[in-house]
A and B are shown apart, each in its own frame.
Chain A
Amino acid sequence: MKPAKFEYKDPHSVEETLDLLKQYGWDAKILAGGQSLVPMLNFRLASPEILVDINRLQDLDYVEEKDGKLAIGALTRQTTLEFSETVKSRCGLLADATELIGHPQTRNRGTVGGSIVHADPTAELTAIARALDAEMVIRSKDGERTDSAEDFFVSVMTTNLEPEEMLVEVRFPIAPPGSGWAFEEFVLRHGDFAVVGVTAAVTLNSDEVCTDARLAAIGVDETAFRDPALEEIIKGEKITDSVLKELGSQLSEKVEPFDDLHASAAQRKHLVGVLAQRALQKAANMAVENLRGEN
């Protein structure tokens, strides 16, 4: 199908963009990489009156280390996460997991900000943002605010952004020494949106005891699912099969997923437990290797 009629604006600066958002409010929609918005326009699931194309805002396309964090501009293409040396060395999970987001073609266009704001319940970046406690830097005519991933994601394809606000930057913590990570997902075909996915990041001390663990799952709730109580199960422990099993089955118990065409709720409950164990095991193995490398 073809999109309904819209007016096209291509601001040259963030300020100009914020003016437009202020002026048009709910009637405007930001166009970033277009990988989600354009199909929605074509299906006429979205019919904004004004399309604000932010692709001219090159100053929102950056990756840099800032105040001990990895700061990523909202217009940074997903491909950049995959290949940037800074991302690889500072937040390896992002670099490693990016290949799970769609296909090279969609990653070349799709942006970090677009994926986060679109808030698809199976978007990998939402899980990573939740697991690592990423911060969202948000601007409007009224100024700038910073929000936690926990508060930012509200429900299916819904964030707490106001219509006159835009996301300008996402900040991820830098991976500490002795850490390892993994993103395990279940897809039917190569490059699909995950049916269920689990990301894990762990830090081990020199005795290979877990000092920090983070776990978030997609495809089992309206937004990425994270429960710190589950993470406590392995903190202070060595990562063994029995600990993993315990955590996997508790996670399966806790989530309340939905049925859809690609999997029933029961299948999702089952998968999330299996994938959590696999992701944690991989993350732990990597942490052990990293420890040995560092020593």
Chain B
Amino acid sequence: MSKTKIVGQSVHRKDAARKVTGRILHVGNIEMPGLLQVAVLRSPYPHARIIGIQKSRAEAMEGVVLVLTGAEIAAMPDVDPYFGPAFKDQPILAIDRVLHVGDPVVAVVAVDRRRAEDALELIEVDYEPLPVVLDVLEAAKSGSPLVHQEFKPAGVFADLDHMEAGEKSNVCYHFKLRTGDVEAAFREADRIFEDTFTSPPAQHMPMEPHVTLVYLDEDEKVNVWTATQSPSFVRTQLSTTLGLPMNRIRVRVPYLGGGYGAKLYGKLEPLVALLALETRRPVRYALSREEEFQTITKHGAVARLKTAVKDGVITGRRCEVFFDTGAYADIGPRIVHKSGYTSAGPYRIPNVRIDSFCVYTNKPPAGAFRGFGVPQVIWAYESQMDIISRELDIDPVQFRMHHALEEGEPFATGTPVHSFGLKESLEQAAEAIEWSGPRPQNNATKVRGKGIASGVKAVLTPSISGAVVMMNSDGSVNVLSSTVEMGQGSDTVLAQIAAEELGVCFDQVHLVQPDTDVTPYDTITAGSRSTYHMGNAVRMASMKIKAQLFGVAARALEANLEDLVARDGRIFVSGSQESGMSMRDVFLAKFGSLGTTIIGEAIFEPRAIPTDPETGRSEKCTEYWFPSASAAEVEVDLETGQVKVVKFLSVGDTGTAINPRHCHQQLLGAAITQLGMTLFEEMVFEEGQLLNGSLLDYQIPSVKDLPEHFESILVEVPHETGPFGAKGVGETGTLTVSPAIANAIEDATGVRIRDLPITPEKILRGLAEKDPKPGRAEVPQ
């Protein structure tokens, strides 16, 4: 392949100037005459029956337009009151029971937000508290109180076809993987390691909270402006919810103020659409930050690992992972499946047994979160890799290198791995942190240590991306895609791909923002899939345009098709650029008229072979893998337990980097997210009540909490079917941060932390247990 011109360049973001100057459209900024606002009364109980609702005082309040309950929605003839991407388990508003604190119960629509909130105080709801189950391990046991009485599969996504209707358990999905004979491995082992690692529920924290605006146009069509990562899904969901044909619903997405998985599938849209239909006025609902905490969370998880070692080599591993999906499954089952099959690690282990469970509890629902459950399992297996190698006195990097899968070797599912830069990533991380260099210096109260971790995630497969590319007679191009620009840079990267393929300049390519009346179907903007999937669709669509352009040019230039090149807005015979034609000339030759367009359209839909329900095996469980490695150097204050990450490296195999700067930004940004998860973030519950449900108490890192030395390294192992060799990179940087830091802390202090987040108090407790000094102030047990 000849060298690319625009692909591989760190061109500037298309949206950057507009974003920093505040000239970008967000749903929250849309103005509309007569726009009404919403406030929602939420459950104060983690589980209760609704006995009665008195709302007449609220309805009588001046400025209040509508007060709506779940029972009223359930009585609407064409409306399906339940929604959800895996199971239809979530009511638009609670109907007879509330299942978590913060469950929406009554919606008030008023002329402004303050009055809507005032009206909430006039509504009385009588509840009868019901038995509650909060702990994920308790919930998974038979005989514990049931959150749902039955499961109704949603039937929307092909990869979730195996969701079964069921009842009488809180486990709504169980993934199994059986490879080899793990019991035999334990019988024959020299050493067996058993550890449990936990991750708490946490928040995505996009700067822009969820917000949805719905209005009916002059044609009574349901127009939805919403902050979503999945416009196509939202349209499908609303079509089911409202009983309307898909072309009566139009979903548009302007730029998102961050998503991180929080804004996937249906969230506020079913409710706001109903409110607009009922009031026949434009209605906007914008969540407060506090409501975000009650709306969607990252899965808390408990991972138990049992690993057999013989002659210094891992021979068997058993993983049991319990994901707390909260009161509604959301996309939990997909997370349990996709992260479940990777939970033994990217290593050569002949005998593996995995059981991964999606478990309902009476907590706010958990859904997709950058990394899709994989950081939770890597936290476990990469912490244990260090525990084992330290115990066996083998260098942790060497231990990983020895077990790391290589090109063509089968993953635990049986799928051979390709384009798998795991060893390269590990090597680069080790080199950058000077792994074999001298130990860092300590002083009296502060000690330093280094840690490393590696891991891998697989892309969601199957999934679908459609694109339409339209070239105008002046060579300018519109790309119609439902990929949502949420800060990750998709507009820029997709424009680079189209420009490269069509031989026009980057600035000539414009991305049409998602609009289901205009832009074709795309599964989701998530899971590190857009550059690869939408990138391929855009490239294929561009090729179709190019074929037409070349056909015209070949005739006009009396040249062979295969000798033609498109570059810098011209089509010419390779080697003689001056003799070619401008795009304008080609269009004139074809149509005899200016202002004309050529359209290319493509759907990219890689397939998978479903994993076997009993063994979890598949010859192709995923389209591609993205390995990651992290290296950290920490300083721990032995008197306060405070951890300072002084140096951090985020390394990822991105495939060919379409835009290297973007790839670096993704690796660093993702590492920051996970730095928060590692050191600070945890949603703390007491009897089902969230104790830190606002930014006053819930702590995320700020730019001042970042490591002094903070860098990223790209490992570019091209993928043979990726657009120009690219893979995905959005989640890579989240994968291995937590264990790298925990491993560095053990290196520094000898203390092993198994429960996130790693707080100073846990470290002090660990130090006291390790070395109980008389006179040291008592630390809590």
Give A contacts to B, CB under 8 Å.
1-5, 39, 43, 186, 188-192, 249, 252, 261-267, 269-271, 273-274
Residues 387-421 of B at the A interface (beta carbon under 8 Å): none
Residue contact A4 to B118, C-beta cutoff 8 Å: yes
Residue contact A2 to B696, C-beta cutoff 8 Å: no
Residue contact B118 to A267, C-beta cutoff 8 Å: no
- CB-CB nearest in chain A for B684: A261
A interface footprint on B616-645 (CB within 8 Å = 1, 0 otherwise): 000000000000000000000001101000
Residue B699 interfacial (CB < 8 Å): yes
Instruction: Among A1, A2, A3, A262, point to the contact of B290 (Cβ < 8 A).
Output: A1
Contacts of A252 in B (CB 8 A): 777
Instruction: Among A3, A188, A265, A267, point to the contact of B764 (Cβ < 8 A).
Output: A267
A269 to B778, CA, bound (A): 8
Residue contact B699 to A188, C-beta cutoff 8 Å: yes
Contacts A3-B114, A189-B701 given; does A266 touch B680 at CB 8 Å: no
Contacts of A269 in B (CB 8 A): 777-778
Contacts of A43 in B (CB 8 A): 694
- CB-CB nearest in chain A for B696: A39
Q: Return 28 A-B CB contacts under 8 Å, by A number.
A: A2-B117, A5-B114, A43-B694, A186-B642, A188-B680, A188-B759, A189-B701, A189-B702, A190-B702, A190-B705, A191-B704, A249-B777, A252-B777, A261-B684, A261-B691, A261-B697, A264-B780, A266-B777, A266-B780, A267-B764, A267-B780, A269-B777, A270-B764, A270-B776, A270-B779, A271-B640, A273-B777, A274-B640
Sample of 8 more A-B contacts, CB < 8 Å, known A4-B118, A190-B705, A266-B779: A1-B288, A189-B699, A252-B777, A261-B691, A261-B692, A263-B761, A267-B780, A270-B764
Contacts of A265 in B (CB 8 A): 780
Contacts of B117 in A (CB 8 A): 1-2
Query: How many residues on chain B are close to A (CB under 8 Å)?
Result: 32
Residue B152 interfacial (CB < 8 Å): no
Contacts of B113 in A (CB 8 A): 2
B645 CB to closest chain A CB (Å) equals 13
A263 to B762, CA, bound (A): 10
A188 to B678, CA, bound (A): 12
A255 to B114, CA, bound (A): 43
Instruction: Among B760, B778, B780, point to the contact of A188 (Cβ < 8 A).
Output: B760
Contacts A188-B699, A190-B702, A261-B697 given; does A267 touch B779 at CB 8 Å: yes
Instruction: Among A39, A189, A274, point to the contact of B705 (Cβ < 8 A).
Output: A189
Contacts of B759 in A (CB 8 A): 188
Instruction: Among B680, B691, B775, point to the contact of A249 (Cβ < 8 A).
Output: B775
Contacts of A271 in B (CB 8 A): 640
Instruction: Among B684, B702, B775, point to the contact of A191 (Cβ < 8 A).
Output: B702
A2 to B702, CA, bound (A): 25
- CB-CB nearest in chain B for A274: B639
A6 CB to closest chain B CB (Å) equals 11
Instruction: Among B118, B696, B704, B778, point to the contact of A190 (Cβ < 8 A).
Output: B704
Contacts of B775 in A (CB 8 A): 249
Residue contact B290 to A264, C-beta cutoff 8 Å: no
Residues 108-141 of B at the A interface (beta carbon under 8 Å): 113-114, 117-118
A263 to B290, CA, bound (A): 22
A266 CB to closest chain B CB (Å) equals 4
A100 CB to closest chain B CB (Å) equals 13
A-B pairs under 8 A by CB, number: 65
Contacts of A1 in B (CB 8 A): 117, 288, 290
B107 CB to closest chain A CB (Å) equals 16
Residues 740-781 of B at the A interface (beta carbon under 8 Å): 759-761, 764, 775-780
B182 CB to closest chain A CB (Å) equals 40
B763 CB to closest chain A CB (Å) equals 11
Contacts of A4 in B (CB 8 A): 114, 118
Contacts of A266 in B (CB 8 A): 777-780
Residue of B118, B680, B760, B776 contacting most chain A CB atoms (<10 Å): B760
A16 to B432, CA, bound (A): 65
Contacts of B776 in A (CB 8 A): 270
A261 to B779, CA, bound (A): 16
A267 to B761, CA, bound (A): 7
A265 to B777, CA, bound (A): 11
A183 CB to closest chain B CB (Å) equals 15
A186 to B778, CA, bound (A): 18
Contacts of B760 in A (CB 8 A): 186, 188, 267
A17 CB to closest chain B CB (Å) equals 26
Residue of B118, B697, B761 contacting most chain A CB atoms (<10 Å): B761
B696 CB to closest chain A CB (Å) equals 7
- CB-CB nearest in chain A for B676: A189
Contacts of B764 in A (CB 8 A): 267, 270
Contacts of A261 in B (CB 8 A): 684, 691-692, 697
Contacts of A2 in B (CB 8 A): 113-114, 117
Contacts of B679 in A (CB 8 A): 188
Contacts of A264 in B (CB 8 A): 761, 780
Contacts A264-B780, A266-B778 given; does A186 touch B705 at CB 8 Å: no
Residue contact A192 to B642, C-beta cutoff 8 Å: no
A6 to B365, CA, bound (A): 36
Contacts A3-B114, A261-B692, A264-B761 given; does A192 touch B699 at CB 8 Å: yes
A152 CB to closest chain B CB (Å) equals 25
A249 to B778, CA, bound (A): 11
A255 to B493, CA, bound (A): 58
Contacts of B118 in A (CB 8 A): 4-5
Contacts of B114 in A (CB 8 A): 2-5
Contacts of B697 in A (CB 8 A): 261-262
Contacts of A188 in B (CB 8 A): 679-680, 699, 759-760
Contacts of A191 in B (CB 8 A): 702, 704
Residues 473-515 of B at the A interface (beta carbon under 8 Å): none
A266 to B764, CA, bound (A): 11
A1 to B117, CA, bound (A): 8
Contacts of B704 in A (CB 8 A): 189-191
A30 CB to closest chain B CB (Å) equals 21
A188 to B679, CA, bound (A): 9
Contacts of A186 in B (CB 8 A): 640, 642, 760
Contacts of B701 in A (CB 8 A): 189
A199 CB to closest chain B CB (Å) equals 17
Residue contact B705 to A270, C-beta cutoff 8 Å: no
- CB-CB nearest in chain B for A186: B640
Residue contact A270 to B778, C-beta cutoff 8 Å: yes
- CB-CB nearest in chain B for A195: B760
A266 to B765, CA, bound (A): 11
A270 to B639, CA, bound (A): 9
A interface footprint on B309-320 (CB within 8 Å = 1, 0 otherwise): 000000000000
A263 to B640, CA, bound (A): 12
Contacts of A273 in B (CB 8 A): 777
Residue of A4, A189, A192, A265 contacting most chain B CB atoms (<10 Å): A189
Residue of A192, A266, A267 contacting most chain B CB atoms (<10 Å): A267
Residues 34-85 of B at the A interface (beta carbon under 8 Å): none
Contacts of A192 in B (CB 8 A): 699
A191 to B702, CA, bound (A): 9
10 closest residue pairs by CB, A with B: A270-B777, A190-B704, A266-B780, A2-B114, A274-B639, A264-B780, A267-B761, A252-B777, A189-B705, A2-B113
A49 CB to closest chain B CB (Å) equals 14
A271 to B764, CA, bound (A): 11
- CB-CB nearest in chain A for B695: A39
- CB-CB nearest in chain B for A263: B761
A190 to B675, CA, bound (A): 14
A276 CB to closest chain B CB (Å) equals 12
Contacts of B680 in A (CB 8 A): 188-189
B438 CB to closest chain A CB (Å) equals 29
B714 CB to closest chain A CB (Å) equals 29
A262 to B288, CA, bound (A): 23
Contacts of A270 in B (CB 8 A): 764, 776-779
B40 CB to closest chain A CB (Å) equals 12
A1 to B120, CA, bound (A): 12
B292 CB to closest chain A CB (Å) equals 12
